[in-house]
Chains A and B, each alone.
Chain A
Amino acid sequence: MAQKRERDSASVQRIEAASKRQGEGERTLTLSTGVVLEIKKVPSMLLADLAVARIGLKPKPPLTYVEALDRTEENPNDPDYKEAMDNWTAISVLDINNAFIIMGTVVVKIPKGLPAHDSRDFLDNMTALGRPVANAREQYLAWIKYVAAPEPDDVTAIIREVGRLSNVGESDVAEAISGFRR
């Protein structure tokens, strides 16, 4: 328990340190494993293209006849539709997370003892787990998610840091709003 608290506290410190950096110079992020990433802006057209591709796959609510109104209306509370929407949202978020990791990060430092993304051990593990990686970028993505950034806070910090460079982060807005009250 104490170990978990220490880990949580370290994660919070890392996120806070990252959020306090000012300016547009080179930004780096240190993950819980000690891996250091350089954070880059993601092309806005990539995000727009991903969004357009997702809209085409968005589930549509079923239509139901409303007797009182004598007309057919969409029913967004249909349980099957809600489940389909949850799945669609989860896959959409995963797509963006992957785009942020692949296009928005570059490894600057790997601590001693951590396998590299092209090491035999790591690739064998992926194959054994039924997650074969076909090319160098897939290797990189899997390595970041399973080796370099194993904690949920690590991924949160990557998304937050890449996201705030490319777009506007909700956490930055919340911080600005709390500043308005001071």
Chain B
Amino acid sequence: MNLTSLRRSAGFDVRYNGDPVLQVQPKYTLPTAVTYGMIHPDLVAPFEEQSTRLDAGYTLPEWQALAPEDRAREVALRRLRTQISMLQNAEQQDYAKRRRKKR
């Protein structure tokens, strides 16, 4: 067995047209009036932290027992997923527009 294949890798290298996906501004984003309360500008907003925890399936004690780096990795992963789905939505809207024009 190749043990290196069991090592966890965080290098997903997800790209959109060759650019790192989190650096791409998704099209068709609407500014909304929704704001989240924050504790401190250097800390993730509690709503985002707790949403991440619930999405990842951690109980509160499990979440608090994680190392700070692991909690941060879960938040980063959720941001990555959200960004991918926003980019995919934009692609779907473009596709729908193109189809409407063809008709």
Contact = CB atoms under 8 A, between A and B. Distances in A.
Interface of A: 22-24, 47, 50-51, 55, 93, 96-97, 156, 159-160, 163-165, 167-173, 175-177, 179-182
Nearest to B44: A168
Interface of B: 10-14, 20, 22, 37, 39-44, 46, 49, 65, 67-69, 71-73, 75-77, 79-80
A55 B46 CA distance: 14
A180 B69 contact: no
A47 B10 CA distance: 31
30 contacts: A22-B67, A22-B69, A47-B39, A51-B37, A51-B46, A93-B40, A93-B41, A156-B42, A163-B40, A163-B42, A168-B72, A169-B42, A169-B68, A170-B42, A170-B43, A171-B42, A172-B68, A172-B69, A172-B72, A173-B72, A173-B79, A176-B73, A176-B75, A176-B77, A177-B22, A177-B79, A177-B80, A180-B12, A180-B76, A181-B12
A55 B36 CA distance: 12
Contact of A182 (B11, B39, B42, B80): B11
Interface of A is mostly: helix
Contact of B44 (A23, A169, A180, A182): A169
A182 B68 CA distance: 20
A176 B40 contact: no
Contacts of A172: 68-69, 71-72
B46 A167 contact: yes
A172 B20 CA distance: 18
Contact of B10 (A159, A163, A165, A182): A182
